[in-house]
Chains A and B, each alone.
Chain A
């Protein structure tokens, strides 16, 4: 019975401890997708749960080219992300996009854009998973 308890403990807790942080995910799965763009933000990665949403406001400078990445762990399903201006006018959605993780654009003028991410619900899941989501932007030199 004691061994059984140890087994249960290992199976329940080790995976959670091992995957608690998103730094390796960002480094290995996200940053290579910048494809030659220079990363221009600090660190915007976190584990999120099904049904959660988040947003981030980013300033993009006029006259520059950018690549914006929103990369989620596959366990979270099809994470939706949109880009809007400060007044809520939607500029981009990854729904139906060929590349659901990347958005490349040129900025004519400097302005703040709002990136919203939404993790789909998983109502019928017995075991709820959390997974990393990273928002990374880079500029072209």
Chain B
């Protein structure tokens, strides 16, 4: 049993710190608002040493005994998503760069797959990278890029409601994510749920998007953002490849337009890869994408004005900006995409 010292300024401060920390742990602060000097002083006035000790002992008891029998309550601290900032130096170290590496977005492959379907095209299995090749990808760079490629093929198969293909691509994605050391992104329970729900298109779609998110989440939170960047790049290349295979066929215009609009994502992606200048594997990917970017310079973007309309509570965002390209440019983009893709999937 420990003893508190006599009331001195130092021990009072210790009591306040202990109380604030224990309150946070056991969620006495239900509104989860910042604790100010004023609020702490107010609380302190009404608390005896015994009460503080009780709170502390209670906290220990909760930790030791596992808290409530309700599993959801036990998970509360883990899922709360907030904590004290205990190590400022570590937290703010290279902060701007860290936030730029985390907050990055290009459309996920599922959206482009949805646009291919919307354009009235049918599923073509022959375009996909075979799942039989999964064992060939043995180093981290190839595994990451091909995980992205499989993620795009999985999205495409799922959007077109190809159940067996979806399960196959999910299994291949799981193999590669395990090999990359992120087993938890698609664990056995997750795969079981997918198997059970494979006949429900909406459920399958949400599992596919969740698996893509999980993989990137584990990597970004595990400070392996460069690996996540390779996955996103692989997914983008495969999505572009699938789109170019449809674009321009028999005078088709909608996919051609979508391929032209990929100029935005490509520029964003290359800028993002620039954040990993010290990574050789990311630089290799960047070199490939830079070649593609050189061809994309022939895509004509005419800047315009943005307009915002609100009608019946619905906001519509428009722009006079136009993006166009010739058939010759489309052919060049398609050809270069095949070269880059083939380099990675072999």
Contact = CB atoms under 8 A, between A and B. Distances in A.
Interface stretch (B291-299, B309-317, B325-333): B309-317
Interface string B217-252: 110110000001000100000000000000000000
Contact of B217 (A18, A43, A107): A43
Contacts of A24: 75, 78-79, 81
Contacts of B31: 74
Interface string B74-95: 0101111111111010011001
Given A14-B25, A42-B108, A22 B56 contact: no
Contacts of B33: 74-75, 77
Contacts of A23: 214, 217-218, 221
B264 interface: yes
Nearest to A83: B317
B309 to A, nearest CB: 9
Nearest to A48: B99
B16 to A, nearest CB: 8
Nearest to A109: B319
Interface in A105-124: 105-113, 122, 124
B76 to A, nearest CB: 9
Given A23-B218, A75-B32, A109-B318, A135 B85 contact: no
Interface string B98-129: 11001111111011001100000000000000
Of A13, A43, A108, the most chain B CB neighbours within 10 A belong to: A43
B86 A13 contact: yes
Contacts of A58: 105
Interface residues of B, number: 81
Dominant secondary structure at the A interface = mixed
A15 B321 contact: no
A26 B213 CA distance: 10
Contact of B81 (A10, A16, A22, A77): A22
A49 B85 contact: yes
B36 A46 contact: no
Contact of B80 (A73, A89, A105, A137): A73
A18 B84 CA distance: 11
Nearest to B231: A42
Contacts of B107: 40-41, 59, 61
A72 to B, nearest CB: 9
Interface in A1-51: 1, 3-4, 7-8, 10-16, 18-29, 31, 38-50
Interface of A: 1, 3-4, 7-8, 10-16, 18-29, 31, 38-50, 52, 54-62, 73-77, 85, 87, 89, 91-92, 103-113, 122, 124-132, 135, 137, 139, 141
24 contacts: A7-B18, A8-B18, A15-B83, A19-B77, A21-B221, A38-B111, A38-B114, A42-B216, A46-B103, A47-B82, A49-B85, A92-B308, A104-B315, A106-B315, A107-B316, A107-B317, A111-B264, A113-B317, A122-B34, A124-B38, A126-B35, A131-B83, A139-B114, A141-B114
